[in-house]
Amino acid sequence: MAGVTAGPEWAAAAGAASASGSGPAAEPVAPGRGPALAFALGSGALHGWAHVGIVRGCARAGLKPRAIAGSSVGAVVGALWAAGLPAEEISRIARRLEWPSTAAGLTALLGARRRNHALREEVERAVGGRQIQQLPVRFAAVASDALTGDSVVVDAGSVGLAVEASCAVAALNEPVPVGNRLLLDGSLTAPVPVAAARRLGAARVVAVDVAYRPYEEAPTSASDYAYQAMHIIGNALAREQTRQAEHVIKLDVHHLMHKRLDIDALIAAGEAALLELAPRLMPR
């Protein structure tokens, strides 16, 4: 059974006890040179290609995180990174997946919701069927309890199931049963899962925020304004959560998608941002 712990992100970040958790508390990251470094990879749908650039930038800079927490698309990239896959392989896997865009529209509500079995199975193959606790780097996926609204940290059990739960968009996907909970997209409660990264034992957290910004594209229709409202709420929550991190990478990359999805440019943007920050992340 997956290890799950629920509780408000702000409370966890402040060191408070998690509310109604059902999994064991995470063991601290093993000691090493310098404070343990973790990445909190945020939600952002197709913007999440920038996370692949974060992975590539860390490889170029010689940075190896000791823990990774991911929310939604950040959980996909984070799980593969924690499994030891290089950026090039993560990119190849991601190109095989079907990625929903927020441009899908509210008409998706009129269609049948479904489980994202393809995502779960692709991730399971990529990590060789290992459990979360068997990955070489500590990992947690963050999801949201569909019945209580709690933010839920999944840090044990099936990697694919944890990632599927973290990516379960309410308008498109059925809630994913994990333990005794029904879980939806992590972006609803933890768009940038800093508290989850801290829970894995990190002394320093790099928060990577790739969300859609309200100012990046003006709404022109009723459905656009509905999505704009969601982005306003999500960005406000992300601002609160990133304040708990020692380092923040905030990327505005929607312009790289206006006319066509430029995956290479998105990856390059993430890599450039990481390399700019890298000197401050080196062990002292």
Q: Is-catalytic flag, 150?
A: no
3-class secondary structure, 168: coil
- Which entry of 43, 72, 91, 144 is annotated as an active-site residue? 72
- Name 155's Cβ contacts closer than 8 Å, sequence gap at least 6: 3, 4, 5, 23, 26, 132, 133, 138, 139, 140, 141, 196, 199, 200
Q: Are strands 37-41 and 247-250 parallel, antiparallel or unpaired?
A: unpaired
Ranges of beta strands (E only) in the chain are 4-6, 37-41, 67-71, 138-145, 151-154, 176-178, 181-184, 204-209, 247-250
72 catalytic residue (yes or no): yes
Q: Is the Cα dihedral 186, 189, 194, 198 positive or negative?
A: negative
pLDDT digits (tens, 9 = 90+) for 103-138: 444 444 445 567 888 899 999 999 999 999 999 999
* List 145, 150, 155, 185, catalytic entry: 185
Residue 72 CB neighbours (<10 A) = 30
Q: Which two tokens stand for residue 203?
A: 């002394």
Average pLDDT across the chain, whole number: 83
Question: Rounded mean pLDDT of 55-78?
Answer: 96
pLDDT of residue 103: 46
C-alpha 239/C-alpha 214 separation (Å) is 13
Q: How far apart are CA 34 and CA 245, in angstroms?
A: 17
Give percent of the chain above pLDDT 70: 82
CB atoms within 10 A of CB 83: 22
Helices then strands, counting H and E runs in the chain, come out as: 9, 9
**Tell me, what's the pLDDT at 5?**
57
